[in-house]
Amino acid sequence: MLYSLARPLLFSLAPERAHELTLSLLKSTHKMGLMRQSVALKPVTCMGIEFPNPVGLAAGLDKNGAYIDALASQGFGFIEIGTITPLPQAGNPEPRLFRLPKAKAIINRMGFNNDGVDQLVENVKASKFKGILGINIGKNAATPVEKAVDDYLICLEKVYNYASYITVNISSPNTQNLRSLQSGDALTELLETLKKRQLELAEENQHYVPLVLKVAPDLESEDIQFIAQQLLTFKLDGLIVTNTTLSREGVENLPHGDEAGGLSGAPVFAKSTACLAAFAEALKGQIPLIGVGGILSGQDALAKKNAGASLVQVYSGLIYTGPNLIKDCVDAL
């Protein structure tokens, strides 16, 4: 109810300013003990972790982990922060975030703007959150793609003791050549190196933190088969399906529809869910799937579950429907 009143004001602001204002207001109201949302307990065990409910926050909303406690008050079963990189970086020039309200969509070309992994770790240490926290890691824009594995290793090592699970993001369309890591020898080398280090860290720290891959929806059938085989070979713990799409299907003639960047929200739902179903078929239940992309209702969340997802995540849908979406999704599942 409150969100439906606030939305016209937020939508009158530039998208990035509205994003910042929403998070600031949420943090303030949380400190005053307001705006908490009660959500049903629906435990799900996945990757060896018991989630209080299967609906999580996708990475990108809280890149630096500065709003964890406030976001946790909204009833998420888990929260994923990031994408974080070894060094702070400004990301792409503004404007870089665009609303397409008629399509309930967003286009972004943020470019992994973040304060760096060390700041994120400090923010996590300062938070009171005791729930399930995913940390999404990426590479700096200035790092050549041939050296990308070094950036992922730095982040993996630094966040290992602060994450419930760690997501390797190789699917943002807004960092040059990043998606090339989804194929061929580049993917093999990345997964082999990170898996080896994960097992070493598990032994050193006496606890195991699951390692998850996040992929794009813009994959051909042979890409899906190859990625699935690599995931099984290197025994990754989970797969997030999917990131944003480069397709403009459904927004071609809308204002901002031709902006560069990744498209999220309602138009990515069908493509993302088809990709999810294809991975479910290829992996045959051997690796759990987290479904994300275009969830704007409880029925959308249920469709992801029916396509093979053990857990789901939301982000763009929150912007169009507000925090009630979390409760709707939990109830539907």
Active-site residues, by number, are: 172
Tokens of 21: 């204002």
**Alpha-carbon span 143 to 186, nearest angstrom:** 15
Residue 306 assigned ligand-binding role: no
Ligand-binding site membership of 109 (annotated): yes
Contacts of residue 252, defined as CB under 8 A and 6 or more positions apart, other chains included, come to 258
321 is in an annotated binding site: no
- 83 known ligand binder: yes
**DSSP codes, 253-276:** TSTTTT-SSEEEEGGGHHHHHHHH
Annotated binding residue 62: yes
Q: Is the dihedral of CA 209, 168, 225, 263 positive or negative?
A: positive
Is position 265 annotated in a ligand binding site?
yes
**Sheet (strand 262-265) strand order:** 97-100, 105-108, 262-265
For 166, list phi and psi in degrees, rounded to 5.
-125, 130
63 is in an annotated binding site: yes
Q: Does 33 show up as a binding residue in the annotation? A: no
The verdict on whether residue 205 carries a ligand-binding annotation is no
214 is in an annotated binding site: yes
Task: Compute the distance between CA of residue 149 and CA of residue 192 in angstroms, rounded to an integer.
Answer: 10
Instruction: Tell the residue number behind the tokens 């799900």, with chain if given.
Output: 44
Feature table: binding site: 59-63, 83, 108-112, 136, 169, 174, 214, 242-244, 265, 294, 315-316
Feature table: binding site for FMN: 59-63, 83, 136, 169, 214, 242, 265, 294, 315-316
Feature table: binding site for substrate: 63, 108-112, 169, 174, 243-244
